[in-house]
Structure 1
Amino acid sequence: MGSTPLKNVGLRDLKTIRRLAALIGVAATGLAHAQNSVTLYGVIDVGPTFVSNEGGAHNVKLDDSVYSGNRWGLKGTEDMGGGLKAIFLLENGFNALNGQLRQGGLEFGRSSWVGLQNDYATLTMGRQYDLIEDFTARHAMSNWASGYANHQGDLDRLGGELLNNSVKLLSAEFNGFQAGAMYSFGNVAGSVHKQSAWGAAAQYSRGPFSAGTAYMRLNNPSGGNAIDPYAQMGVFSFLGQTTATRDPATGKVMDTQSALAVDSQSILTLGASYLLSNVTYGIAYSDVWFKGFGKTSTLRAYDGGASWQITPSFSLAAAYVYSTFEAHHYNEGSLGLDYLLSKRTDIYLQGSYLRASAGVDAVQGYSFTPSTTSTQTSVHLGLRHRF
């Protein structure tokens, strides 16, 4: 049926239309008053990368999600009255080079949680970043200087890691202080302990100074939190277990423990930063204890550097990280330049050089195939757009 011309509408119909219009107006006013909102946002980050040695050869390739992980997301709030709000976040991670999903193919692999918030605290439940990301990661200047300069394998989680089945409670900030606690259910039938995780954190911010600490404990880490010693650290043994072997004839390496079953992984992180004029100075420390097979091993990282906002559009960041694990040590320096083309689009250049001790195949963060030598260098030119 076609639409009815307005001139053929009767008086009764016109009165009905006016009533509906009035009701719609009242409803719209009510929604605006309730301050409900849903926001669509995202980041796309793509550019070429040079790697000096990946599995025995240099590599020039197009890479993405280097400075910022590619994503699109939905976040929203509903004002429930009395200072209470319902909040949610759904965030998808994707590969801009081929359109595939990241985070193991999860639709909302970067975040998927719902929660409640008032003037005193925020409670969220679902898949979400841990307390190390919330309280100490921003003090690690290596994260500012290069997207490839995560600490070895990001096993201290300062590069930003997620936990499934988690409940997180964050206090509001009171006189510069904030605290948080988190628990991740293992969801394993017959065991409350297995594959569970928990943590606590606190921070203080006042003026140009901020500092924070966070502790996380992962029991039987698996899935996205599983430990792959050779791929993440370039080591051939871990907790007394052989994790990789090298063919003496060809030099080819076989990773024999891509998901090493350890009993627990405990992480303590500390960090602080200070803004002086237009330079932010930062330091961070992490201590990671691995327990399994009747042994304990420790990975430590010391991170320091600065970010200089040279002009409103141009910044420079530099960092140095020294790490130790068992009898091995790692030295890594990184440098990054960033230039804003507009408020939402920037171009950046980053470089990182890693040297490991003898007997270790150098690998930056968890980004590349390990080198066949004790050094690895990367250079990346990226274009990033935020919407």
Structure 2
Amino acid sequence: MKKFTFAAVLGSFTCIVHAQSSLALYGVADAGFIYNSNSKGHSLYTAGAGNLQGNRWGLRGTEDIGGGLKAIFVLENGFNMYTGGLAQGGDLFGRQAYVGISSEYGSLTMGRQYDSVVDFTGPFEVGTQWATYFGAHPGDLDNMNNTNRINNSIKYTSVNYAGLKFGALYSFGGVAGQFNRNQIFSGGVGYSNGPLAVGVAYLNVRNPNVSLYGNMAVSSATASNMGGSTVIAGYATAGSEQVVAAGGSYTLGLATFGGTYSNTQFRSLGQTAVVATGQVISGTAKFHNVEVSLKYQITPTWLVGVAYDYTLGYGVNGARYHQAVVGTDYFLSKRTDLYFDCVYQHASGTDSTGHMAVANINALSASSTANQVATIVGLRVKF
């Protein structure tokens, strides 16, 4: 009888705890195969992981602490499906890691987080929807595809006010005696009502080679952290980076029309000493980027999409990138889907390294010519 009473009391206590708090395990497993028509002069067939959506597993929790307040946290790991290794440069929770408080007015969180461009305009880019990250804007120059997260940040996100949401983020530079060095701030607003959704955002980064591109365990304090993309790799010496972005979509029956615009500027080039950037330049490198897209829901489980993206570089150097994407996504169930995408890019002008621009589809090795084609087929499972 005592054992039964103890079990009953314990069971009641467990129910109370569950009513006040929650913990969820979630994730994405995504793998496929990629054909690159020109990788440094040769065609390449390779396995690719996290194409449609980055591979991850995470823990998300909330606890009711009274007075209408909740403690919240997210720990999200990124990994390579084919090797089992850590993504995001070897960081254990490289995708997200934050803790904070939420209320009826919004949430305030601290940690490694997404900026406002990702939150308010990124969802309108086809690379974050059906086109895989190969269909992102060249070099993901405006970070709409969420290549870079923000360390040392504090972030406010409002609740939804009849379709209106807004937010802001600030990242501390952490350099003694130089308050502005390495700091990052961003803000954005989004509105969704019926078939219409729009968003605008702003991002400002000081010393981007370190604070934005170099915020992982494997990053260098003296060399370039801006990767191999010829679109932006030559701008590692920038004193600051600025992104102004906007996006929107409108659904008409089974069709959704979408578009994005961004202006990205790498300012005060040559201000930061970086080893082996490829050239010595000064001034400001600027980019206009415009994307238009159409997504059509053939059936509730099958969609097709097309998109065109144009990137115009001006200021220091200058390149033009024309990019077209077609793709399809078929859902076998609510959590499992098959996808296929084809990306074509044509380049002209002078790229960030000071050389004749070659095609360089996002996340792939550059072509040896002005043209490049990539096809991607894969399977994604959410849990």
Name the TM-score class by shorter chain. Answer: 0.7 to 0.9
Q: Give the structure 1 partner of residue 172 of structure 2.
A: 185
Q: CA deviation at 1:174?
A: 1.4
| Residues 1:316 and 2:301 aligned together | no
Q: CA deviation at 1:319?
A: 0.7
Q: 2:107 aligns with which of 109, 117, 122?
A: 122
Q: Give the structure 1 partner of residue 219 of structure 2.
A: none
Q: Give the structure 1 partner of residue 275 of structure 2.
A: none
Q: CA deviation at 1:364?
A: 0.8
Taking the aligned partners of 2:36 and 2:99, their CA distance within structure 1 comes to 40
Q: Give the structure 1 partner of residue 358 of structure 2.
A: 361
Taking the aligned partners of 1:116 and 1:229, their CA distance within structure 2 comes to 34
Q: Give the structure 1 partner of residue 156 of structure 2.
A: 169
Distance 1:282 1:135, change over 3 A: same
Q: 1:336 aligns with which of 327, 330, 339?
A: 327
Q: 1:273 aligns with which of 218, 230, 249?
A: 249
Taking the aligned partners of 2:181 and 2:197, their CA distance within structure 1 comes to 35
Q: 1:285 aligns with which of 242, 261, 279?
A: 261
Unaligned runs of 5+ in 1: 1-13, 239-259
| Residues 1:375 and 2:371 aligned together | yes
Q: Is the 8 Å Cα contact of residues 141 and 307 (structure 1) preserved in structure 2? A: no
Taking the aligned partners of 2:337 and 2:19, their CA distance within structure 1 comes to 37
Taking the aligned partners of 1:236 and 1:47, their CA distance within structure 2 comes to 27
| Residues 1:325 and 2:313 aligned together | yes
Q: Is the 8 Å Cα contact of residues 154 and 170 (structure 2) preserved in structure 1? A: yes
The one-letter code sitting in structure 1 at the alignment partner of 2:145 is: G
Output one character per residue of 1:85-108: Cα deviation in whole Å (capped at 9) or x when no partner. Answer: 111111100011111101000001
1:63-142 to structure 2, matched below 5 A, reads 63-142=48-127
Taking the aligned partners of 1:127 and 1:179, their CA distance within structure 2 comes to 19
Output one character per residue of 1:235-284: Cα deviation in whole Å (capped at 9) or x when no partner. Answer: 7965xxxxxxxxxxxxxxxxxxxxx2210000000111111112111110
Taking the aligned partners of 1:145 and 1:339, their CA distance within structure 2 comes to 10
Q: Is the 8 Å Cα contact of residues 308 and 316 (structure 1) preserved in structure 2? A: yes
Q: Is the 8 Å Cα contact of residues 235 and 360 (structure 1) preserved in structure 2? A: no
Q: 1:220 aligns with which of 207, 224, 233?
A: 207
Q: Give the structure 1 partner of residue 228 of structure 2.
A: 231
Q: Is the 8 Å Cα contact of residues 27 and 57 (structure 2) preserved in structure 1? A: yes
Q: Give the structure 1 partner of residue 143 of structure 2.
A: 157
Q: CA deviation at 1:29?
A: 3.0
Taking the aligned partners of 1:383 and 1:351, their CA distance within structure 2 comes to 15
The one-letter code sitting in structure 2 at the alignment partner of 1:329 is: R
Q: 2:290 aligns with which of 302, 313, 323?
A: 302
Q: Is the 8 Å Cα contact of residues 266 and 288 (structure 1) preserved in structure 2? A: yes
Q: Give the structure 2 partner of residue 38 of structure 1.
A: 23
Taking the aligned partners of 1:220 and 1:171, their CA distance within structure 2 comes to 29
Q: Is the 8 Å Cα contact of residues 152 and 171 (structure 2) preserved in structure 1? A: yes
The one-letter code sitting in structure 2 at the alignment partner of 1:376 is: Q
The one-letter code sitting in structure 1 at the alignment partner of 2:13 is: A
Q: CA deviation at 1:26?
A: 3.0
- Provide the secondary structure at the position in 2 that maps to 1:195: coil
Q: CA deviation at 1:155?
A: 1.7
Taking the aligned partners of 1:228 and 1:302, their CA distance within structure 2 comes to 26
Q: Is the 8 Å Cα contact of residues 142 and 304 (structure 1) preserved in structure 2? A: no
TM-score by length of 1: 0.86
Q: CA deviation at 1:229?
A: 6.9
The one-letter code sitting in structure 2 at the alignment partner of 1:215 is: Y
Taking the aligned partners of 1:89 and 1:156, their CA distance within structure 2 comes to 25
Of 288-297 and 272-281, more deviation after overlay is shown by 288-297
Output one character per residue of 1:189-211: Cα deviation in whole Å (capped at 9) or x when no partner. Answer: 33221111001111111111011
Q: CA deviation at 1:228?
A: 6.3
| Residues 1:208 and 2:183 aligned together | no
Q: CA deviation at 1:54?
A: 0.8
Q: CA deviation at 1:233?
A: 3.2
The one-letter code sitting in structure 1 at the alignment partner of 2:361 is: Q
Question: What is the count of residue pairs matched by the alignment?
Answer: 350
Q: CA deviation at 1:172?
A: 1.1
| Residues 1:21 and 2:17 aligned together | no
Q: Is the 8 Å Cα contact of residues 144 and 317 (structure 1) preserved in structure 2? A: no
Q: 2:181 aligns with which of 186, 194, 201?
A: 194
Taking the aligned partners of 1:351 and 1:228, their CA distance within structure 2 comes to 28
Unaligned runs of 5+ in 2: 215-223, 271-281, 350-355
The one-letter code sitting in structure 2 at the alignment partner of 1:360 is: A
Q: Is the 8 Å Cα contact of residues 262 and 290 (structure 2) preserved in structure 1? A: yes
Q: Is the 8 Å Cα contact of residues 145 and 319 (structure 1) preserved in structure 2? A: no
Q: Is the 8 Å Cα contact of residues 138 and 231 (structure 2) preserved in structure 1? A: no
Q: CA deviation at 1:288?
A: 0.7
Q: Is the 8 Å Cα contact of residues 231 and 360 (structure 2) preserved in structure 1? A: yes
Q: RMSD of aligned C-alpha atoms?
A: 1.8
Output one character per residue of 1:34-90: Cα deviation in whole Å (capped at 9) or x when no partner. Answer: 2x1111111111111100111111100111111100011110111122221111111
The one-letter code sitting in structure 1 at the alignment partner of 2:263 is: D
Q: Is the 8 Å Cα contact of residues 259 and 291 (structure 2) preserved in structure 1? A: yes
Taking the aligned partners of 1:79 and 1:237, their CA distance within structure 2 comes to 49
